[in-house]
Amino acid sequence: MLKYLHIRNFAIIDQLELEFNQGLTALTGETGAGKSILLGALGLVLGDRADNDSIKQGSDHAEIVAEFDVQENTGVTSWLVEQELNADDECILRRRISKDGRSRAYINGTPVNLQLIRELGEMLIDIHGQHEHQSMMKPTVQRQLLDDYAAHANLLEAVSNAFVQLKLVDEQLQHLEQASSDRNDRLDLLRFQTQELDALALEENEYTQLNERHSRLAHAERLTTTVQQVMQDLHESEETDIQSSLSKSIAALQGIAEFDEKLNPVIDLLQEALVQVDESISELRAYDDSLELNPAEFESVEQRLQIILELARKHRVEPETLTGLHQKIANELNDLDHADERLESLRNEHKTLEHTYQNAAKTLSNSRAKAARQLNKKITSAMQTLGMKGGQFEINVTRADDDKRAVHGNDRIEFTVTANAGQGCKLLSRVASGGELARISLAIQMITASQGKIPTLIFDEVDSGVGGGIAEIVGQHLRALGKTNQVVCITHLPQVASQAHHHMRVHKQSGKEQISTDVNALDREQRVEEIARMLSGVDITQQSLAHAEEMITRAEVS
């Protein structure tokens, strides 16, 4: 719910701080006092388009901050976590607009674009009246309201699951049917390519091994000459004979090591070197024995490499990947060879899933129609008590014209209404009177409040065109709605204001150079005086005070 609103340098507001509570809060004040300015500021922080003309004269920027308690609003908390904007159980929106036309928006201190703040705002506050944020107009919200009222969570899940599975099979079937259109040509090509690769019979890592073998054979003579020369230098040459030289050096040092033990580490190192030389000679001798000059083998390896390279160029792949390509082509060939079987299997699966989806959608549609009939009666009845005698409300549940499947079923949900007897129902979005629209929204909210997803409701002009007993009923409805939601109502009627749990008065203050708007939370005595003013005008009488006291008391005990 909305906890706190801070407004600075907006319109004719210097600085204003308001705290809000659960229940029904009435906002009253004389015409032109600035009640609409509060809604404008709230709309701005919820993502409305910025207008630098709304910045207070003499200021270079305006700023609005709204703080919400979202502890019990799992939809909002999940959204904040998903967007990485969460901050415990609080949600703070901030909007700053400058004279130069720049606008900045923040969620929990993080800069965001307006689309994000609007998306979040629609989950936090719903404003009913001649203003934006009238989510009741949106077909998606109308469908959601009906589904929430009828507790359709399980039916919606069944439709959604069937839709997702059917979409997946649709895609597989489409791909396979498209592939089947040029199947014969593709099969011929795949068979030819497979035969070539089968004939090559390339083994894993064979190309790398062949390259290594080819390099040895191509340089066999040089390898043999160099290896034999090194062996001669290490052991066989009378001039170099490194092995003998090391042995003599070790023996000489051992002969004098008894005179100085510091020579022992050197002797150890030379002995290790001698061991390494011995092992090197053995390795080189074995390597030399394995080398052979074999022109026939060299030619065979070279031809094999040439075939591999040509086939790799033909397929436009690296030689090392030919074995993987071979397997891929073989798999595709196998799939196409059995395409008819797979196609038939998918078509059967598609029929089954289509049947499952249509049954689930039909069950959902029937339940929607039943719930719609119940809501029609309840909301129509509520309209009679809200100054719309003879008015009628109808929810139309029809099949979508395009007859396409959707994740939420294939129904079109339309809220229609007429405020006067004898007139046909029209779409809710086409209702001309803002006051009637607000009261119809109030009736809908009253009936569906227990399933509502938006915690804070703001009603503007719900008392337009009504008075007396009807106004009191409007107030009673709002007070009852305040038991499940936070409700803020801008009203000119004492019958509505007297029903509030909390009361704020908006008034203008005239200074030497300019006029500003201020808002005060009223205590019990101040509430009586304000409602008395609303009853009798400028001159507050004892009779109007007594009447105001009676109205507040009657609301408190009801």
Helix (H) / strand (E) containing 104: strand 103-107
Per-residue pLDDT reduced to its tens digit, 444-480: 877 776 566 788 988 887 666 667 788 888 888 889 8
Per-residue pLDDT reduced to its tens digit, 122-143: 889 987 765 434 567 788 888 9
Which residues lie across from 7 on neighbouring strands?
16, 64
Query: SS3 of 125, please?
Result: strand
Q: What pLDDT score does 181 carry?
A: 59
The pTM for the full model equals: 0.60
Query: SS3 of 96, please?
Result: strand
Cα-Cα-Cα-Cα dihedral sign, residues 418, 422, 424, 430: negative
Residue position matching structure tokens 């079937």 = 173
Q: What pLDDT score does 18 carry?
A: 92
Which residues lie across from 95 on neighbouring strands?
64, 105
The Cα 271–Cα 253 span in angstroms is 11
Mean pLDDT estimate for the chain: 84
The Cα 454–Cα 484 span in angstroms is 11
Q: Give the closest residue to 434 by CA, choosing from 412, 466, 457.
A: 466
CA angle, corner 315, sides to 312 and 320, nearest 5? 35
Phi, psi of 409 (to 5 degrees): 100, -175
Phi, psi of 460 (to 5 degrees): -120, 130
Q: What pLDDT score does 132 carry?
A: 38
Query: SS3 of 457, please?
Result: strand
Q: What pLDDT score does 433 carry?
A: 63
Beta strands 90-98 and 515-521, pairing class = unpaired
What residue ranges of the chain have pLDDT lower than 70?
A: 32-33, 129-135, 179-184, 237-239, 293, 401-403, 432-435, 449-452, 462-466, 511-514
Alpha-carbon distances of 344 from 104, 164, 174, 187, 347, rounded to whole Å = 57, 20, 13, 19, 5
Which residues lie across from 231 on neighbouring strands?
none
Cβ count near 514 (within 10 Å): 12
Burial class, 461, CB count within 10 angstroms (exposed 0-12 / middle 13-18 / buried 19+): buried
The Cα 363–Cα 374 span in angstroms is 17
